[in-house]
Structure 1
């Protein structure tokens, strides 16, 4: 439900939480306009993109679950999550972007066919090195090539690190919503 308890601005581009807004009971819908795509940033040479597969599914799911522990959000149990790739039309294995290094899976952006980033996680040991921004730009480039107008995601208001990353990626705040009880 939209929290209308305080005004944020006249237009969606004017919306922005204050520096002290970090409620664990709220999340934000954020958007990136794809009409002007910049040259994508590359990730470090020690990383390489691999296709999502049954072979790396356990490691991908484990990283997504770690992301929810650290930043909020929800990822179902492994079998339910994996079943989505076969039975949910929003899931497409080609839209699950996986980065690996010599230790294994270190970053994932799982997207839906509706140009929505369902989950984005970078392993804590690589955060702050531009991997998340490079992965986001790869997602934006992919959806622009599919002729989408924008990409959306939801971020917990309390996840300040993720919010800063999305702001750097030129995403803007669209709507503040109350978190539904589990």
Structure 2
């Protein structure tokens, strides 16, 4: 989330059908159907000290010209809690992907990204981009597994 750290731009080409595979007990939900405080809490856990306060974050999000509620997707657990969240812009860009630390390693990040790829492909997009901090090796491994490749900015 910090622009001060070195980062890479990665791209997923949507040249074949994408299908989100959700781990058992989890499902997707759009931001408009959940309590935004839960999505904000997951972002804050994933990016401590880098997320704006709730009111500012939510207001800035929904007022952005690239905001589309169908591109802000939460991962919901069987007990109804938000355990992951991805925020995308209409410009085929993933702004943030976050999974609560207690739920990492269960395929939630992969499911959220699969959902993103499916939704952008349905819109006719040819690719999806994101930026990842160079030192975030776990995230980079996830994106490589998903078929994302480095592109020049």
* TM-score category, normalised to shorter length: 0.7 to 0.9
Q: Residue in 1 aligned with 2:135?
A: 158
Aligned residues: 149
Which one has a bigger Cα radius of gyration?
Answer: 1
**More displaced stretch, 78-87 vs 106-115:** 78-87
Contact conserved, 1:85 with 1:93, CA < 8 A, in 2?
A: no
2:75 to 96, 99, 104: 99
Q: What RMSD, in angstroms, separates the aligned Cα atoms of the two structures?
A: 2.0
Select between 113-122 and 48-57 the one with higher mean Cα deviation: 48-57
Quote the Cα distance in structure 1 between the aligned partners of 2:145 and 2:125. Answer: 21
* SS of 2:91 mapped into structure 1: coil
- Aligned equivalents of 1:148, 1:163: Cα separation in 2: 22
Unaligned runs of 5+ in 2: none
Q: 1:34 aligns with which of 4, 9, 14?
A: 14
Alignment of 1:11-90 (within 5 A): 25-38=5-18, 40-53=19-32, 55-69=34-48, 74-90=50-66
Q: After the TM superposition, which of the residue ranges 158-167 and 24-33 deviates more from structure 2?
A: 24-33
- The change in CA–CA distance for 1:41 and 1:145 in structure 2 (over 3 A counts) is closer
Once the two structures are TM-superposed, the CA of residue 76 in structure 1 deviates from its matched residue by 2.4
Q: TM-score, normalised by structure 1?
A: 0.74
- Mapped to 1, the partners of 2:135 and 2:33 lie a distance apart of 33
TM-fit CA distance, 1:54: 7.5
Conservation of the 8 A alpha-carbon contact between 1:85 and 1:92: no
Structure with the bigger percentage of helix: 2
Which consecutive residues of structure 1, in runs of 5 or more, have no partner in the other structure?
1-23, 177-182
Aligned to 2:121: 144
Whole-angstrom CA distance in 2 between matches of 1:52 and 1:60: 8
